Structure 1
Amino acid sequence: MANTEYGYVRSFEGNDALPPSNWIVVRIDGRGFSKLCKKYNFDKPNDRRALDLMNAAATEVVRSFVDIALAYGQSDEYSFVFHESTGLFERRAAKLATSVATAFTAEYCMQWPTFFPDATLTRPYPAFDGRCVCYPKRRILRDYLSWRQADCHINNLYNTTFWSMVLKGGMSTTEAELALKGTVSSDKNEILFSRFGINYNGEPEAYRKGTVVYRSYSEDECVKGSLTAESIGDRVADSASKTQMEKDRKRKQKAQIVIDHPDIIGDTFWTAHPYILASKRGQDYGE
């Protein structure tokens, strides 16, 4: 940038670099999605086309940003987890949040015709906002992801029961809301089964557990220890050569991106994929 007499205005820019050695979560949320759902007549309580569109957009964001270790989504939100060692955009919060949110929005709009071929997008177009949150430990990061999955279960159980009472039980939305006031999970499960013959545990996992998007590496790569912090994060150790850096980046770009609906509150998923939250070779991923 040219050094002119007007350059002093740069001093007004705030320093929003996020602290090092923190996992960065960029969470995006749909803006005005209740109106969007109504406008395009989304199925209730879940529209599989809409969820598949969200997952397709998230997959391309993960593919574009190789420092994303994992993404978790439900409803109209997605959380993208950047590895603690990332140096992308010098860890500037605004750059990370806006880059992810705009990339997701673009993918969502561009892929819309694939999932809704009979519904042409018109203004106001779908849009997503984003925010950055730092988590200093993997244990806290896992608690965050558990919180989002628990939220998915609570909301989906309520919505499944609510809309069954309205669409199948003939109740008004006000009547259904009053009937569910003060109920707990067991009450909702009983209503679903006794009145509508629905076993909630038999509902699609995508609805009950949300969606996890991550890179899958071969067992051979993991055994050889190639997936360390240096190869997962954007920054590598000073001793690492540029050639090795490029190899690591290409490995991540070529990795298979998986869309799945596992339980991420328990340990099974993380034990099966220890490299996702790996920090350094031999270190416990759960710390």
Structure 2
Amino acid sequence: MKADYEDALRLYVPRRTHVVLRLDGRGFHTFTAKLERPYCRRLADALDEAALKLCQEMIGCRFAYGQSDEYSFVLSDMEPATAPLWFEGNIQKIVSVSASLFTGFFNKAFASDQPGVFDSRLLVIGQRTEVEKYLLWRQLDASANSLNMLASAHFSHEELDGRSTSEKHDLLHGKGINWAKEPADFKRGRAVIREGRKGWRVDRDIPVFNRVPEYLETALSVR
């Protein structure tokens, strides 16, 4: 039975590669409807706490990046040659356990009567430069999301419908609101980085990745 059914769908990540896990909140448009706008520090702190704890759990974890209701985790067994990967690269276990742990960690930190739920997806990315491109893509999404959230907190859907990025900035400036002066973690997201023997910590003042490329180069390097 095991060979016929379980083993047939037991898939593994190729060795010596990079794995990206992205954890997304399920139905968070509804979940966050009554939270503070445009930015809820309590929600961000709970996501950061869940990400920090998951980084501590996952063998081979190198870095995590979060924005909006999502967190991306980079795992690798590239170096050293004997480096293991979480669950020996078993895709079903990595995806299912990461979603379960993150959901549990988040709900404990957020402490709400309404529990949040997260799904997990796995990407295999061969080159580290492609991992850096992926992280920049998510950071650009964070900037776009933050502008949209800031604008929607001050203008109706009808007032913003069809507006370009520059037009949204102009509307905000008309009310004396400057997106550039918003908190860095709201505009650019947050990271969980490892600092050698000091362990993992949350960084809420990260740079724009393609303007300070050494940030990711250092964060993704083997400790």
* TM-score by shorter chain over 0.5: yes
Q: Which amino acid in structure 2 is aligned with residue 258 of structure 1?
A: V
Segments of structure 1 that go 5 or more residues without pairing to the other structure are: 1-5, 114-119, 166-175, 218-250, 281-287
Distance in 1 between residues matched to 2:180 and 2:55, nearest whole Å: 30
Counterparts of 2:60 and 2:7, CA distance in 1: 30
- The Cα shift of 1:8 comes to 4.5
Aligned residues: 218
Kindly provide the amino acid, as one letter, of the partner of residue 152 in structure 2: F
1:19 has 2:9 as partner:
no
Percent identity of the aligned residues? 28
Which residue type is aligned with residue 119 of structure 2? D
Structure 2 match to 1:30 = 25
- Contact 2:62–2:222 (CA<8 Å) still a contact in 1? no
Per the alignment, residue 111 of structure 1 pairs with: 109
- In the alignment, does 2:86 pair up with 1:91? no
Q: Contact conserved, 2:67 with 2:142, CA < 8 A, in 1?
A: yes
CA offsets, 1:146-167, max 9 Å, x none?
11010111111012112212xx
Pick from 117, 121, 132: which aligns with 2:113?
Answer: 121
1:70-81 to structure 2, matched below 5 A, reads 70-81=63-74
**Is residue 153 from structure 1 mapped to residue 97 from structure 2 by the alignment?**
no
- Where 2:9 maps in the other structure, the secondary structure is coil
Structure 2 unaligned segments of length 5 or more: list them. Answer: 79-83
Counterparts of 1:129 and 1:45, CA distance in 2: 24
TM-score of the two chains, using structure 2 as the length reference: 0.88
Partner of 2:61: 68
Q: Corresponding residue for 1:261?
A: 205
Partner SS state of residue 178, structure 1:
helix
Aligned partner of residue 13 in structure 1, secondary structure? helix
Displacement of 1:121 in angstroms is 1.1
Q: Secondary structure at the match of 2:116?
A: coil
In the alignment, is residue 189 of structure 1 matched against residue 164 of structure 2?
no
Tell me the equivalent position of 2:124: 134
CA distance in structure 1 between the partners assigned to 2:20 and 2:184 by the alignment: 24
Q: Aligned Cα RMSD in Å? A: 2.1
Normalised TM-score (structure 1):
0.70
